Chain A
Amino acid sequence: MNRKKLQKLAESLCRTAKHFNKIEVECLIKLFHTLVVEPSDRHVVIGLDRNMFRNILHVTFGMTDDMIMDRVFRAFDKDNDSCISVTEWVEGLSIFLRGTLEERIKYCFEVYDLNGDGYISREEMFHMLKNSLLKQPSEEDPDEGIKDLVEITLKKMDYDHDGKLSYTDFEKAVRDENLLLEAFGPCLPDMKNSMAFEMQAFQETGDL
């Protein structure tokens, strides 16, 4: 990509991804291009596919849960083309790394709303929490604990008592208790990882 094009792209992205300045956006664009393997076929959209992205999440941000990583990919991939374009990359990272509380609430809700119907249902919760408890062999029903955990969560977060979490419920609960932001599994980088990433991404390219 030539310099002019890069500048132009950076400038436009700078407006949508407001948590990065222009230089940072440029760095991220450059990083994106080092990550993306140039496709042989000109017609294929340029971008990170699911596996590449998951790999980044795993290696750089220490995520382990397959399902959550898929959901994060979906959250980045706004246009649902199973490929993260450079715009999606920069805009996604803007929230992922530096999002305001509100942005992060929205993002997390999107991640947890597995079927995208605007609600986190009991079943979705169960699905996300099912590996969260150590299985006790002594227990008759190993899922008992998970079910109970789901009920506890609902009791805590379901303000309108409709048995599922709407965005309003979720937002209210998180504003009340920030710890509940990632209630159903880690989908944001922790401070250490995000700092390491930013350092690497912005410094390395900054040196150029």
Chain B
Amino acid sequence: MKIKSKIEALNKLFGININKNKKESEPFFKRFELSKFVLQKVINMSTDIKIRKGLTLRLKGAPTNTLKIAPPSTKFALKPTDFHGVFPKLLCKEGDEVQAGQPLFYSKYQDSIQFVSPVSGTVKEIRRGAKRKVLEIMISADKKQQSVTHKLPSLGKITPEQIKEQLLASGNWPFIRQRPYDIVANPNATPKAIFVSALATAPLSAQYDVVLEGQQDAFQLGMDMLSKLSPNLHLTIGAKESSQIAQTKNCTIHRIKGPHPAGNVGVQIHHIDPINTGETVWVVGAEDVANIGRFFQTGVFDASRTLAVAGHPLTSPCYYKSTIGASLEPLLDDVGAENLASLRVINGDVLTGTATSANGYVGYYNNTISVLPEGNRYRMFGWLPLAGPNIHSMSNTSLSWLFPKKQYTPDTNLNGEERALVVTGEMERVFPMDIYPMQLLKACMANDIEKMEQLGIYEVAPEDFALIDYANSSKIEAQAIIRDALDLMNKEVG
């Protein structure tokens, strides 16, 4: 009976009264289970998280910790394709003069969400693709640099509704994304928690202690504002993080230890406060929080972006202070990229980023620009075990296990061809969630909505499957499969 009384005391402590709604005949063990669950939650909140499965890829060409001011760019572009699932309705046409922070388009199915110009200048061209889909709104910056200023209510007494309104009106809203579906957050939803990950574990990716250096005040203000939108605001940092990020207030800080994808916010959510069917969690990028904070400091939309430009073909990879939508040309020039035609420039990290070109533009969300050589070459008998010692492999059919510290210089070769799913167990090795990845992928390929839901589709985002893309021997495009499945779920379930 001792245990029983303890559990009851615990239930009382957390305000759970089982006997109130339920009959006395409720089996004893069920109550015990409930308390166990509460206990686990408490433990999770206070302790740090250790991820065991995964893979930290060591690649050459990591950025040095120097932060340069990016060479000025006059060409900018806002890409509606950065916002997955948003159907853009244009608010500008070619030749229009726009100010920084002036809306360029809004979301057709959620018209309160506006997307604003990162600079002031002239709309030079609206580039469209197949079916007249808007690809890029190109703006040539002017010298005056005027920006739209919003009148802010007093921050001390600001209400959650006012914060939402301000974020929507100023074009800051797209910084907030949601799980499930990995899309721009629905402003009408009430999230059960907001997560900010200040831990980057993907290969060659920007480290947030460098990115947020000197932005701590703005970051703190952004966190303060987010904490008003949801009381459950979580900030995740590396196990050894010692910079000022670790001192952030008004949020629950979790220290995360382990290999990539420990830095993926989806993995963190899964271990801290997993998403159940019908629940919503918002996620905000760490520097995006600082951008939001600066907006609340000044009333002006802030499009600044700190970028790590990395990759082994570059002569001096480092960090740059740049702007969302800025042309990549001057950046790549400065960082020493040669032979640009044979290189792939990626907005984002090498596992999850979007390929662009040397005359592309900085993406909306990414803090990393990765550069890789293209791999369109043949390798004679390259399929033999142990062949190609310079290509990393998780599998022991190559010699990578002998050189755990070796830094690799990968290219974009597929290293094989797509085949049927044969090998089992290799996906699980890089997937640190209590989800069966291969079974989920198969359900997604079969468009089996019920099964996808049962197997945990709401908890995952394409980026969580990036290492599966990388490691699976059948060369299955797992990220693309999950993206399509999430779109299907969003359409069918909403």
* A and B interact physically: no
